[in-house]
Structure 1
Amino acid sequence: MTSAPEFELANVGPGPDPCSLSALAADHDFVLVLLQRDHYCTNCREQVQQVASRYDEFEQRDAEVVSVVPEPRENVQEWQDSYDLPFPLLADPDVAVGEAYDQPVRFGFLGEWSDFLGRMPEAVLVDCRDADAGPEVVWSYAGRSTFDRPSVDDLLGAIDEHREG
């Protein structure tokens, strides 16, 4: 397990604004960080809607979902206006959280130059139960393409595995 990098970003969804990992960790056993590719990514949009439709199952596990979009607040606000997500939706225009959590980027320099071309989705599960150790990354899934992301069942399964383990 590794310490989860702290973050604090503008939040256009429910919860505190700005929203930080430490604030979420104080109120939940787990935080599931969904690092999105960009504002235009249809697979990212589908993922947050699928998670939202089963959000009660995350709540039952005392897990907060937070989606991080590497875009300015105005672009991320469009998602919230369209989908009314029940969890924090964070704007990360500087891609600071993606960098801190080693979000995968393809195509070398070209991918780093353009998030649209290179940034891939990632899901990171943070265990917040040990106040002395602090939030720790216990599971992650780094996508190799825009389509490569865990299902909602896989995300819930990862939480269950670490709750029991």
Structure 2
Amino acid sequence: MSIARLDFELPNVGAGPDPLSLDAFAADYEASVLLFQRDYHCGNCKDQLQDVAERYDEFTERNVAVVSILPEPKARAREWQDSFELPFPLLADPDADVGEQSDQPTRFGALGELHDLVGRMPQTVILDTRNDALDTHSIHEGDTPSDRPSIDAMLGELDDLLAA
């Protein structure tokens, strides 16, 4: 599975530049993990971000950037950042343009397309950012709100990528 080359610039309320251009930001890393969230109210999303934050040093030891993308306005994303103090970028994608560009999965057909709260599913994209590229290494498309790769699974994918 592959998606078109991802490059975007979005408002950032977390660590790093605001706004954040993926191409410029990722250039300093070997790989990047993009965590596409469902919405502001998603408890699984909040749990995932806190889990990644707790083990963030394992990503930085591998020279890997983590970027979370929330399909909400900047003010809502800032509420998450104020609550969780994430050590990585938390981007606001109020119109879900980047989610659409990355083919973030939805369910419930037309209803899901109209209402992100019930339709949008989580997605994790690992990019190989070596050699000034943003090449897709792997994509995990969630089938349910809780269908996300574990931290260990993400780190394993990254180890495989970086060993190649």
1:96 corresponds to: 97
In structure 1, C-alpha distance between the alignment counterparts of 2:88 and 2:22, rounded to whole Å: 13
Task: Structure 2: give runs of 5+ residues left out of the alignment.
Answer: none
Give runs of aligned pairs for residues 4-153 of structure 1, distance below 5 A. Answer: 4-131=5-132, 134-153=133-152
Q: List, as ranges, runs of 4+ consecutive aligned residues in structure 1 with deviation greater than 3 Å.
A: none
2:155 corresponds to: 156
Identity of aligned residues (%): 51
Paired residues of 1:2 and 1:136 also in contact (CA < 8 A):
no
In structure 2, C-alpha distance between the alignment counterparts of 1:18 and 1:79, rounded to whole Å: 17
Distance 1:66 1:110, change over 3 A: same
In structure 1, C-alpha distance between the alignment counterparts of 2:99 and 2:157, rounded to whole Å: 20
Root-mean-square deviation (CA, aligned residues, Å) is 1.0
Amino acid at match of 1:77: R
In structure 2, C-alpha distance between the alignment counterparts of 1:22 and 1:28, rounded to whole Å: 11
TM-score, normalised with respect to structure 1 = 0.96
State the secondary structure of the residue aligned to 1:130.
Answer: helix
In structure 1, C-alpha distance between the alignment counterparts of 2:156 and 2:93, rounded to whole Å: 27
1:121 offset after TM fit, Å?
0.1
1:2 offset after TM fit, Å?
5.8
